[in-house]
Amino acid sequence: MKLFITFFFCSVLLASLSAQNQPVQLWQAAEYVKSMNIKGPTISLDKFQNTYMLTNQTDESPFGGFTLVKYDTLGNVLWKRHSQVGIIGILYGSFTVDSLGNAYVGQWYDGGLPGYDADAVLIKYAPDGAKQWEANYGLNQSGDSYLYYSEMDTLNGRLITLGMNLHETDPAENFLFVQAVDTSDGSVTWRTKIAGVFRPQNLRVQSDHIQLLSTRYKPDSKYFVSTLVDFDGNITAQYEKPYSGYEIDFNYISRTGDVVFGNRAFGYNVTRVNVQGDTLWAYVHPLNSGTNKNWVRSVVEDTLLNIYATGALEIPGQNVEMTTSKININGEVEWQDIFQSSNGDFGDGGENVQIHGDRLVTSGATQLENSDVVGIIKVYNISNGFEEHNILISNENIFIVNKSFIITDKMLYVSEGYQSSINNMVAVTGCFLMPKISSSIDESKYPNRIIAFPNPTSDMIFISDIDLDVFESISVCDMNGRIVMQKRVEAEQEKILLSGFPPGIYTVCIYGKNLKIMKKIVKM
């Protein structure tokens, strides 16, 4: 009888999942934080799809520190590690998880005490949660040292970290530093210092060099600084220019070396500059109100160098609305979604944007009629901006989704919430099962009806018999699943040029509302 009940339950569950057309939450876990210093939680994954969540320290001390939690694929806590690596006000900074699940957490900030010098500290945790080593990189100078960013140099098997040292009275002890760390013991393979008062902003390990982004503070202005370093720590180029009109806190370093900036406030603006700091294009939303309620909080780039941005825009006569845009390589908007919650008297905002294949995932928050703020995740068709899913998540009175992304058929997210006091925070991690793209119309007639020819081809293909009432866009993916071309459906027969692509097997996807038709094409 027990076996029959188990079999019946599993059958019903499988049937419900196979028929789902909306994301289904698989698990959610909460960590309560008591802290005077708030920094939003973040997450990362290893190759086994275990989730690592990093947040403020979750014990009863309000003076800082960080907590790292590892969850398995079902949301069970595998281990939890706390760290209080200084006297007061320590928050996490750099955070990297390698494919095997080794986690590297660096110090970000120290509130400090008079006469106390905070040192840059990096800790490595093994996949089983054991502390492998704790390295202190601030023993040979005075002032406060911070680690802000880190990224694996997989070619050389090292961790690259970017930080700064700041001294209130001794100019010689103000510098930016980048270093290569031996992941086996935390020792420094090389360390490069750049003198001056800097604020690290981003780091990217490129194919043939390391690119650093920072702000330099001079008496006359703030300067955008782009520094190129080789894999032995030698500075090969450095460019700096005064900047205005954009903030570099919300930025993305392209594989081309260009940098894309989002505005902190006073405008839903996106700016792309080259590595020398020259402006390539600047998008300024025509509805900018000029108040600090307008901003772009997150930007990301696809393989075709299209930019996706999310933030907030104050609409005249309405309120602040969550806005997501696709901007092409020329700085032109291809599509834009301005989300308005059910009650137009309250505001919305985007915090983060991520790409997964042919989907775009944005995260943020929206305010409801009862003044509660709930987290929001929106999933778009990346090609045409069609909204596939709109998910609301709540836990406390004020609740914000900091980051979300899709991996295979799962969507992971991390959020923060507050009750009546901002010193009582909850960091919430969760996972949704994403539905497969299905059709509410008779899908069976379309695969055989839509024709892609000639196949094989050497230069171009034609997609014919496209129902314009059903289908909206076309994308072409290479053998690695990367989108190499996108276009809107404008005619019953569309021409796709493949002459510039290498030989191989390509997948042509024709999208309609809740419908995707795929055709395999051989390029000779």
Q: What's the confidence (pLDDT) of residue 143? A: 81
Is the previous residue joined to 456 through a cis bond, with omega within 30 degrees of 0?
yes
Of 467, 462, 472, the C-alpha closest to 442 is 467
Q: How does pLDDT run across 167-204, given as a tens digit for each residue?
A: 878 888 899 999 999 999 999 999 999 999 899 999 99
Statement to judge: residues 385 and 450 lie in one domain:
no
Q: For the chain, which residues score pLDDT lower than 50?
A: 1-18, 345, 438-440
Domain contains 436: no
Statement to judge: residues 267 and 382 lie in one domain:
yes
Statement to judge: residues 385 and 472 lie in one domain:
no
Statement to judge: residues 382 and 298 lie in one domain:
yes
- Residue range of the domain that includes 356: 256-394
The whole-angstrom distance between residue 457's C-alpha and the CA centroid of its chain comes to 37
Statement to judge: residues 285 and 360 lie in one domain:
yes
Q: What's the confidence (pLDDT) of residue 444? A: 58
Read off the pTM: 0.80
Statement to judge: residues 390 and 451 lie in one domain:
no
Statement to judge: residues 380 and 271 lie in one domain:
yes
Q: Which two tokens stand for residue 448?
A: 């055989």
Q: What's the confidence (pLDDT) of residue 228? A: 98
Domain contains 338: yes
* Phi, psi for 13 (deg, rounded to 5): -65, -45
Contact yes or no for 358/382 (Cβ under 8 A):
yes
Statement to judge: residues 261 and 387 lie in one domain:
yes
512 Cβ contact list (under 8 Å, min separation 6): 439, 467, 470, 471, 472
Contact yes or no for 43/412 (Cβ under 8 A):
yes
Q: What's the confidence (pLDDT) of residue 227? A: 97
Contact yes or no for 142/167 (Cβ under 8 A):
yes
How many domains does the chain divide into? 2
Domain contains 384: yes
Domain contains 355: yes
Domain contains 22: no
Of 464, 447, 456, 465, the C-alpha closest to 517 is 447
Domain contains 79: no
Q: Which two tokens stand for residue 61?
A: 């001390």
Distance CA 154, CA 160 (A): 10
Distance CA 294, CA 25 (A): 32
The whole-angstrom distance between residue 97's C-alpha and the CA centroid of its chain comes to 15
Statement to judge: residues 306 and 389 lie in one domain:
yes
Domain contains 504: yes
CATH of the domain at 508: 2.60.40.3080
CATH of the domain at 374: 2.130.10.10
Statement to judge: residues 287 and 383 lie in one domain:
yes
Domain contains 329: yes
Statement to judge: residues 390 and 260 lie in one domain:
yes
Distance CA 272, CA 268 (A): 14
Q: What's the confidence (pLDDT) of residue 428? A: 93
Of 71, 40, 45, 70, the C-alpha closest to 56 is 40
Statement to judge: residues 389 and 494 lie in one domain:
no
